Amino acid sequence: MLNEKNFVPVEHVRDLIANAPIEVFTVFGNCTVVVLQLPNGFTVVESSGCIDPANYSEEIGKEICLKRIEDKIWMLEGYVGANEFAAKH
């Protein structure tokens, strides 16, 4: 989704994340798994873990995973935008 200046608006990526269904799981007591579903049904999955389960925080793991998911969405939207741009030129 390109805007008139041929870039993906930050609001677009933020809206995708803000409006997406998200599932968060703790696995093995020290690993957070986050699954986000985009509007078209495509899912993006990330995980993070810690060495010592005594230091584990699902909330911190979720934050780490959501940042990585945001990076992936930027990549995916950049790909779509590059296709749109190429089709115009």
pLDDT tens digits for range 17-63: 999 999 999 999 999 999 999 999 999 999 999 999 999 999 999 99
Q: At what angle do helices 58-88 and 10-18 cross, to 10 degrees?
A: 130
**What pTM was estimated for this model as a whole?**
0.91
Where are any strands of DSSP class E within the chain? 22-27, 31-37, 43-49
51 within some domain? yes
81 within some domain? yes
**Residues of the domain holding 26:** 10-88
Q: Name the pLDDT band for 16 (thresholds 50, 70, 90).
A: very high
- The DSSP call for residue 39 is T
Q: Which residue has the higher pLDDT, 64 or 4?
A: 64
2 within some domain? no
50 within some domain? yes
Distance CA 57, CA 71 (A): 22
Position 88 scores a pLDDT of 86
Distance CA 38, CA 18 (A): 10
Both tokens assigned to 4: 């008139």
Position 41 scores a pLDDT of 97
If one counts the domains in the chain, the total is 1
